[in-house]
Amino acid sequence: MADEPEKQRVPLPLRISFTGVLLVTMLLLGVRMLNAVNLYPGAATSAETGPQKARERNDVREVAFTTADGVKLYGWVQGDDAAPRKIIQFMGNGEQVGPAGALYAASCKALNAQFLLFDYRGFGASEGRPSEPGLYADARAAQAFAVKELGWRPESIILWGRSLGGGPAIKLATELLADSPPAALILEAPFTSVRDMANLRLSHLGKPEWLVYDLYDNLSRAPELKLPVFHFQGTADEIIPYSQGELIFAALPGPKEHLALTGVGHNDIWSDDARAAMIRARINEFLGAHE
């Protein structure tokens, strides 16, 4: 019986290199997963909240639309169809359609507006997983749905981005400027970029910006926003530094207006009825001046 050929041993340097590549790949995959968990905690929101809240209200209708990459999104149209102002709302992180129904009802009335609210992919009742390119695709789909299905005139649409929502709102505004510019952009406590936020919150990691995948570089896009922009933020914002909002506002080419909410944090902007009424009045005045 012939002897079996001796198995060739993989050279040690090659084994070490392969192991190193494998470990680095696993590390990068782990970092990407941590990025998603830290950046999009809203992906854990309940799919039942929006539909349940819709059944409790008589001023909303549920809608659904599909993005260019085939993700089905859930949303509401809230307010009177006859309202002259049409607003697409881009919510903050951890937020979804439903819980703030009363807040948006008050904004509909004060601004004489109708809102399109929707859950980002992976949030609430929407399909998919969140990512920066994904949220940009969601924004484009919302605008296309508003125009093609709701019959909103592109030039009448106002984009409103809160916190994380400032990213897709700003990106969409820059894309629409050439052919169908929005009527205005409202920015509520936006950040300059995720990289800047990482350097602020994770400075103990040495170079945290190297571990960031989704950037939302709002500051670099701000000079392109040649449309009316109303910007507001609390001076005591504990999540997004007020200084980041100042940088974005300074970079806007105008026309623009800034409202500083003295002593107000990130998540309590709308908690006081008198302050909420004042904010809406200022926004209403600004929009009226640029219609």
For 170-196, letters b (16+ CB in 10 Å) and e give bbbbbbbeeeebbbbbbbbbbbbbbbb
Model pLDDT for residues 206-238, shown as the tens digit of each residue? 444 445 555 899 999 999 999 999 999 999 999
Model pLDDT for residues 151-168, shown as the tens digit of each residue? 999 999 999 999 999 999
Domains in the chain (CATH in brackets) are 40-289 (3.40.50.1820)
- Give the separation between CA 286 and CA 272, rounded to whole angstroms: 21
**DSSP result, 189-243:** S--S-HHHHHHHH-GGGS-GGGG------HHHHGGG--S-EEEEEETT-SSS-HH
CA 173 from chain centre, in angstroms, equals: 13
Confidence (pTM): 0.86
Q: Could you tell me which residues are beta bridge partners of residue 256?
A: 229
Model pLDDT for residues 167-203, shown as the tens digit of each residue? 999 999 999 999 999 999 999 999 999 887 776 654 4
Nearest in space to 198 (alpha carbons), one of 190, 206, 208: 208
Flag the least confident range among 27-31, 83-87, 93-97, 138-142: 27-31
**4 to 10, 11, 64: CA distances (angstroms):** 18, 21, 65
